[in-house]
């Protein structure tokens, strides 16, 4: 499959994975559209990407929580990207989210409601055009509710289901929908957590896996294949056994 040459819109471009993806796509010759809150702070990244990869780079103000503005945001771009990637996310400690619903609500809206809103906008536009790729960064945490992060996991489970349904709806319309479940990643969001090295990827590793998936036509992406087996095992555990685990 030849790689499309159209622009890539990265929603959440200030995140570690978003930055890594910008470099991966830029190195592949793709024009870049970087979107995040306080977009002016992305100008340094944009200059570096232009110099390093010799590709056009634009920056755009975007708030994943401002769902009422998402249609206007898509219209204001002036062109419809070939690929849209949503990297927006938030992980609040479980103990805080289960005692403070405002924190839980923010996490659920950031990880599910906002991403579903903006990707739905682009899905409709791509459907009318007849081509495009939508990529959502979900999580292995959404495979089953675990005591240690079930509120974050519930939002990611919803997002995974949304992407699955979107893929089913658009599969015969020329639109590809890719669900990414990176597993543990060394980022600012996981800073301070004790992560198992064999299961933990670098942002550049995640970006390379996503670019490879788009080229090869993959629809479900685990950064490291071992996560597919781990998730399958967790899902298949009988409920009485699962309740005795410390996950």
Active site residues: 152
The upper half-sphere exposure of residue 46, i.e. CA atoms within 13 Å in the direction of its Cβ, equals 18
Q: Cα–Cα distance between 148 and 98 in angstroms, integer?
A: 11
SS3 12: coil
Angle at 89 between CA 155 and CA 185, to 5 degrees: 105
Q: Residue 174 has what DSSP assignment?
A: T
Q: Cα–Cα distance between 196 and 224 in angstroms, integer?
A: 13
In angstroms, what CA-CA distances link 216 with 4, 26, 130, 212, 219?
A: 12, 18, 19, 6, 9
Q: Residue 110 has what DSSP assignment?
A: I
């Amino acid at each position: 499959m030849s790689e499309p040459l159209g622009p890539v819109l990265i929603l959440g471009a200030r995140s570690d994975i978003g930055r890594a993806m910008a470099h991966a796509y830029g190195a592949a010759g793709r024009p870049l559209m970087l979107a995040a809150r306080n977009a002016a702070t992305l100008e340094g990244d944009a200059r570096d990407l232009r110099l390093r990869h010799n590709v056009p780079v634009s920056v755009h103000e975007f708030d994943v929580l401002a769902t009422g503005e998402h249609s206007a945001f898509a219209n204001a771009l002036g062109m419809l990207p070939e690929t849209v990637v949503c990297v927006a996310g938030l992980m609040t400690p479980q103990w805080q989210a289960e005692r403070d619903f405002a924190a839980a609500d923010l996490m659920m809206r950031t990880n599910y409601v906002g991403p579903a809103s903006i990707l739905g906008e682009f899905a409709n536009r791509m459907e009318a055009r007849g081509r495009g790729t939508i990529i959502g960064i979900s999580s292995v945490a959404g495979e089953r509710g675990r005591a240690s992060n079930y509120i974050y996991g519930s939002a990611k489970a919803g997002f995974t289901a949304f992407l699955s349904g979107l893929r089913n709806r658009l599969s015969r319309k020329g639109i590809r929908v890719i669900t990414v479940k990176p597993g543990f990643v060394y980022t600012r969001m996981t800073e301070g957590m004790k992560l198992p090295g064999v299961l933990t990827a670098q942002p550049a590793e995640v970006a390379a896996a996503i670019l490879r998936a788009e080229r090869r036509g993959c629809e479900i992406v685990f950064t490291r294949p071992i996560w597919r087996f781990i998730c399958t095992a967790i899902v298949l555990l009988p409920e009485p056994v699962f309740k005795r685990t410390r996950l």
